[in-house]
Amino acid sequence: MTNDTPDIAWQGLLEHRRQIESLHLRDLFATDPDRFARFSVETGALFLDYSKNLVTEETLTRLFGLARARGMEAAIASLFAGDRVNHTERRPALHMALRNRSQRPVMVDGVDVMPAVRDVLARMRTFAEAVRSGIAVGSGGSPYRTVVNIGIGGSDLGPLMVAEALKAFRGSGPDVRFVSNVDDTHLVETLRGVDPATTLFVVSSKTFTTQETMANAQSARAWIADALGDAAVPSHFAAVSTNLEATRTFGIPANRVFEFWDWVGGRYSLWSAIGLPIALAVGMDHFEALLAGAHALDEHFRTAPLERNLPVILGLIGVWNRNFLGCDTHAVLPYDQYLHRLPAYLQQLDMESNGKRVDRDGRPVGHATGPILWGEPGTNGQHAFFQLLHQGTSVVPADFMVAADGHHHLGRHHDLLLANCLAQSQALAFGKTAETAEAEMLQSGMAPEEARRLAPYRSFPGNRPSNTFVLPKLTPETLGALVAAYEHRVFVQSVIWNINPFDQWGVELGKQLANRLLPRLSGTPADSGEDSSTTGLVAKLRSLRPA
């Protein structure tokens, strides 16, 4: 597709949308008793119901045609072959190699990377088991009771999300905490009440130069040195980095530095040594089970035909909602408290990957790309923003996810959770007409005039699309599959939109400007080239700070 002229498949979908825009999900379900069976897909332990989307068989046929017109099958093969799909940085994107449970080699520039991947995993296992068992100890001989991961972006969001999601599997492991924000409050509050003698820091930065991470790491180093002496630093730090010289200068022994590679993008890196805090939190067996769940989904994505390929279906429906139904945002609604950080993790995965305005040929795109992604766990969200989802003027497609079995069996809690999840997706899809609302009020004994007056307020338009993921139980395997499904969904959409989902140049300009402004805040005269707003704000901030 050129930037200004839709191709035949795209144009056909535009015309199809005009033909079905008057349809309602109520009608689609009423006329098709088998809709649920025909519009759902299952792979392993991951089940996806996509029947509550505004699609017909023809819609899907046309979407699969669009995917083939964009070369989807070849693109998937190219991704798994280790081709340089990240063309702006001339790198492969082989996060799948990190969780490759098969004996197949994975080649990068003619070299099988799997021996190096397995070596790092083995070193992670040795270290994690030593920490969790109490064999590895602090400088004073005490076992580590607290682990603090210092990172940002992909070095924080992924490990944090997984560590929270798998808390039920922690066992006797240490308390694992995370610091990312350069705001010193984050570090101070994380360390409040923590004993330096029983604390281990993991500093995660590929280059060991990331500004926010290194500011927090240097403060953590000073905290250990002030309490235990400078000689204690090597016993209280580990690193995930490729910069051995910088980690050595910092004081971290080489046997506590874990490598990953430039073909691993930050937001795809939780499967690598960046996942060390996960292994420390729940044990290496559970970490490798996470990898196995993701690998099973990788194999499905790599081999399943498009029509039964879960990430392909998920991605194409997202394209339909974004480009043809005009939906600007997308809500992620996990009905599992352990998944409370999943929406934030998926924000980075999706918005940093597909928040692009330039295509693979360096030209402005002629269509919408990644949606604004947001969300909160249910049922909390029901009492916050679901009002807008049900009766607002914006249509927000939603992904629900729920496990059939919970980790705790306290009274009727889990049944209430399941009932609320199913009820919300049902209400979004089918709504309630004003006539039904009025009839219900009359039946309850309300006066006809009052029932008629309130009916518009108590009616729901419905026809709001949603997907529902069902897991047997939230486990390392099912979580791995779920996250991998979203990773591949992002890739599918990038192929349709002809953009590179593996670079993130959009984050660089702010970093450059921050480095330039940093000395201005400490007294250097403002550059005459600064805009008046920035110059004025710097002056105002300096005037309000204590001398």
Residues marked as catalytic = 352, 383, 511
Q: Which residue is listed with tokens 């008057």?
A: 22
Rg over alpha carbons for the chain, rounded to the nearest Å, is 26
Paired with 375 in beta bridges are 332
Do 473 and 403 meet the contact criterion of CB atoms below 8 Å apart?
Answer: yes
Nearest-angstrom CA–CA distance, 495 and 263: 19
| DSSP-based three-state secondary structure for 258 | strand
| DSSP-based three-state secondary structure for 327 | coil
Nearest-angstrom CA–CA distance, 180 and 187: 8
For residue 527, give both structure tokens.
């550059």
Beta-carbon neighbour count of residue 306 at 10 Å? 18
Nearest-angstrom CA–CA distance, 215 and 70: 44
Distance in angstroms between the alpha carbons of the first and the last residue of the chain: 59
Do 463 and 55 meet the contact criterion of CB atoms below 8 Å apart?
Answer: no
For residue 343, give both structure tokens.
């929406």
Nearest Cα neighbor of 358 from 372, 369, 374, 344 is: 369
Q: Is 170 left (phi over 0), alpha (psi -120 to 50) or beta?
A: alpha
Do 263 and 269 meet the contact criterion of CB atoms below 8 Å apart?
Answer: no
Task: Give how far Cα 74 sits from Cα of 81, 83, 105, 451, 492, Å.
Answer: 10, 11, 20, 59, 11
- According to the 3-state scheme, what is the secondary structure of 30-42? HCCCCHHHHCEEE
Q: How many residues does the chain have?
A: 547
Paired with 329 in beta bridges are 372
Parallel, antiparallel, or unpaired for β 175-179 and 199-204?
A: unpaired
Nearest-angstrom CA–CA distance, 351 and 343: 11
Fill in the amino acid letter for 219.
Answer: S
DSSP state of 466: E
Nearest Cα neighbor of 290 from 416, 11, 477 is: 477
DSSP state of 393: S
Paired with 202 in beta bridges are 149, 238
For residue 182, give both structure tokens.
């350069």
Nearest-angstrom CA–CA distance, 27 and 335: 28
Q: Which residue is listed with tokens 């397995």?
A: 118
Q: Give 459-497 as a DSSP string.
A: -B-----EEEEEEEE--HHHHHHHHHHHHHHHHHHHHHH
